[in-house]
Structure 1
Amino acid sequence: MGSHAATAGRRRRRPLVFGSLGVALLAALLSVPSAGGAPVSADACRTGGAAMPVGDCGPFWQVLAEDFDGDRVPLGAFSDCDHHADTSAAYCAGLTGSYRDNWWAYPTGWPDTAHDRDRDVVGVYHPEDTVSVGPAQDGDGRMRIRMWRPADKGPVHASAVVPRAVMQMKYGKYSARIKVTKQAPGYKSAWLHYGGGCEMDHPEGEWTGPLSAFHHPCGGGEQGSFKGADDWTSWHTVSTEWTPGHVRFFVDGRQTGHDTRGVPDQPLSWVLQNESALEGPGAAPGSSAQLEITWVTAYAYGWK
C-alpha cells in the first residue's frame, strides 16, 4: 500500500495553483492514433521510450527536464538539507549550482515509513551517503540512489529526493526513466504526492517484487491498486498524470491505472521516496541496493 514518512513539520504547504483545461480535451489527446493507425503511447506526451521528452504537450507545459548530463554530484553533497524543510524554499546547503536550485532531499535523521508499521528493520533518511549524480560507463548521466544497512544492524540509510520546481503544485504530469541496478530484499520505493488525507503513489513496491501504483482517495475509501510491471530490474518509463477529478498512471507508454474517486484538488509536492521495505524480510545487515534514474521531467497543468 502507499506510504509516507511521518515527520513533524512536513505538512506545511503554500498554495501554487495553475489554470485548468477541460477533461474532455485531455481524453481526446490520449486517444489519438499514429499516422499509420498503429497504437501509440497513451501518455499525453507519448512518453514511453528511452529518450527524455522535451517541450510542452497537450494540456501540460514543461517546467522540469533533467537528464543528469551536467555537473557531477559526489556522495556527501546532498547534505545540510534542513532549511525551510518541505516548502518551495527548501534547499540543501551542501549542493551548489543548478542542483542546489533544482533539488532538495529529506534531511538527515528523518524517520522513514517503517517506523509507523512496527517493522523489525526501519530506516532513517541519509541523503548525504545515499544520493549521487554521475555518468554510467556509456556516458549516460544518472542519479543514483544507493540505500544500505550498516553491518552493525543499525537502521537502513534511506533516501527521498524532491524536485523543487514542482513542490506545492496543484495538478501536473510527472515522468521518469528508472531501473534497479542492484537488488536485495528489504528496500522499496514509493514515489508519491501526499497530504490532507490524500495520496497518490507511483511507482511503488519492494525492489524484489512488482512495480505498481496506488491511489488512496481523499477522505478515505478503498485504495486503488494497479500493477505496472513485473519487476524493477529493467528500464521503465513511469508517468503520473494528475488533472481535475482524474489520476492516471502509465508504464512504458501503457496506461496501467485510472481513478476518479477523491482525487486531490490541493497543492502537493512530488517526492521521489526510497526507503526500507514495508513487507517481506527486512534488509540484512551489510546489504545494499541501488536505483538509477536517467531522466526526470515534470509539467504544470493548464494554459501558459
Structure 2
Amino acid sequence: MSVTVASAAVLLGLPRADGAPGQASASADACRTVGAGLPRGDCGPFWQVLAEDFNGDRVPLGAFSDCDHRVDTSGAHCGGLTGTYRDNWWAYPTGWPDTATSRNRDVTGVYHPEDTVSVGPAANGDGRMSIRMWRPEDGGPVHAAAVVPRAVMEMKYGKYSARIKVVKSAPGYKSAWLHYGGGCEMDHPEGEWTGALTAFHHPCGGGAQGYFPGADDWTEWHTVSTEWTPGHVRFFVDGRQIGHDTRAVPDRPLSWVLQNESALQGPGAAPGSSAQLDITWVAAYAYDWK
C-alpha cells in the first residue's frame, strides 16, 4: 500500500518542552498561535466556538456518568454532569467496546468515563482535564475514555486544537482523536503513548491512507491542531504543518472525538497498570463560509 508522507513546513514558533514559549513569534497554523496559553478569538477563515482551559469548576471522578442520552448527536449529554460541563461535554457511555475489541486483540477495552475522566488543578495550579486509563488487577478489559466537545458535534469543517501531555506512560494505551463517518476518517493525534505522535487521513470511500509523523514523544507538551476546509485537511504539531491532504476530504458534518483506548499495536496493558493523559486547554472553531 502506498503512503502519503508529509511535506514539513518550516517551524516558526515552537513551545519548549516545559510548556514555555520559544524564541520565535509565529507558527504555521491559521491562528499563528505560539506559547502554551489558550488561544482566544477568531482567526483566518475560522470563528471560535469553544475555548476551555479547565480553570473553572472541578469535575471529580464519577461525574462523567449516565452518558447514554441521545448518543452520537448534538443533543448527547451525561446526566452526571452539571453546569457548563454538562452543556459542553459528552463521553462515550459506560459499556461501549473500544477499537481493540473489533480487532480481536488479546487485551481489549471498554469505555468507562465515570472512573477515567476528571477535571481539576495540577500540582502547579494549572487546570486540566485528566484521562487516566487503567486495567484491573484481575486482568479484565482496560477502562478507556472518549470525550466529545458538544459545541462541535455534527459540524462540517472547522479548526480543532488542544495542548496535551502524557504525564504517566505505560505500554498498552493509546489515543486516536478523530473525525469519522460515511467512509471518511481524519485522525490527529494518534498513536500508542509509548511511541510516536502521528496524524492520518483515510480518504472517503477508500484509498491509501495519508500518514504524517508529528512528534517522537507523547510525554512532552504538544499543541496539536487539525484544520478542515472544503477539499483540504491540514495537520499541525507545535505550530509546524506536518501534513496536508486533498484526496476525498470529508464534505459532511462529523463530530470531534477525543478517543483514548487500549493499544492496537505492541503489548497490551498489564494487569494493574495505568497511564494518564492531561489536557490543559481545548479550542475549536467553525469554518466561515463567507
- Normalised by the size of structure 1, how large is the TM-score? 0.87
Structure 1 segment 199-214 matched on structure 2, within 5 A: 199-214=185-200
Deviation string 1:142-164 (CA, Å, 9 cap, x unpaired) is: 00000000000100000000000
In the aligned structure 1, how far is the partner of 2:235 from the partner of 2:76?
28
2:214 corresponds to which residue?
Answer: 228
In the aligned structure 1, how far is the partner of 2:180 from the partner of 2:35?
28
Q: Which one of the candidate residues 107, 125, 136 is aligned to 2:122?
A: 136
1:279 corresponds to which residue?
Answer: 265
Q: Which one of the candidate residues 74, 80, 88 is aligned to 1:94?
A: 80
2:60 corresponds to which residue?
Answer: 74
Shift of 1:48: 4.0
1:299 corresponds to which residue?
Answer: 285
For 1:270, what is the secondary structure of its paired residue? Answer: coil
Contact 2:26-2:34 at 8 Å conserved across structures: no
1:8 corresponds to which residue?
Answer: none
Are 1:112 and 2:108 matched, yes or no? no
In the aligned structure 2, how far is the partner of 1:48 from the partner of 1:89?
34
1:152 corresponds to which residue?
Answer: 138
Which AA in structure 2 matches 1:89? G
2:236 corresponds to which residue?
Answer: 250
2:205 corresponds to which residue?
Answer: 219
In the aligned structure 2, how far is the partner of 1:178 from the partner of 1:119?
27
Shift of 1:118: 1.5
Deviation string 1:146-187 (CA, Å, 9 cap, x unpaired) is: 000000010000000000000000000000000000000000
Contact 1:48-1:251 at 8 Å conserved across structures: no
Shift of 1:116: 1.4
Shift of 1:39: 7.2
Are 1:51 and 2:37 matched, yes or no? yes
1:61 corresponds to which residue?
Answer: 47
Shift of 1:188: 0.1
Q: Which one of the candidate residues 69, 93, 105 is aligned to 1:83?
A: 69
Are 1:179 and 2:165 matched, yes or no? yes
In the aligned structure 1, how far is the partner of 2:129 from the partner of 2:220?
16
Shift of 1:303: 4.9
Identify unmatched segments of 5+ residues in structure 2: 1-8, 14-23
Shift of 1:46: 1.2
Contact 2:183-2:205 at 8 Å conserved across structures: yes
Shift of 1:40: 2.5
Which AA in structure 2 matches 1:235? W
In the aligned structure 1, how far is the partner of 2:149 from the partner of 2:33?
19
Report % sequence identity. Answer: 84
Shift of 1:237: 0.2
Shift of 1:47: 2.4
Q: What is the total number of aligned residue pairs between the two structures?
A: 271
For 1:274, what is the secondary structure of its paired residue? Answer: strand
Identify unmatched segments of 5+ residues in structure 1: 1-29
Instruction: Tell me how large the CA RMSD over aligned residues is.
Output: 1.5
Contact 1:188-1:205 at 8 Å conserved across structures: yes
Q: Which one of the candidate residues 252, 256, 274 is aligned to 1:266?
A: 252
Which AA in structure 1 matches 2:199? A
Question: After the TM superposition, which parts of structure 1 deviate over 2 Å for at least 4 consecutive aligned residues?
Answer: none
For 1:178, what is the secondary structure of its paired residue? Answer: strand
Deviation string 1:30-83 (CA, Å, 9 cap, x unpaired) is: 99x99xxx7730000012420110000010000000000000000000000000
Contact 1:102-1:165 at 8 Å conserved across structures: yes
Shift of 1:117: 1.0
For 2:106, what is the secondary structure of its paired residue? Answer: coil
In the aligned structure 2, how far is the partner of 1:46 from the partner of 1:157?
37
Are 1:167 and 2:153 matched, yes or no? yes
Deviation string 1:257-294 (CA, Å, 9 cap, x unpaired) is: 00000100000000000000000000000000000000
2:16 corresponds to which residue?
Answer: none
- Normalised by the size of structure 2, how large is the TM-score? 0.91
Contact 1:61-1:303 at 8 Å conserved across structures: no
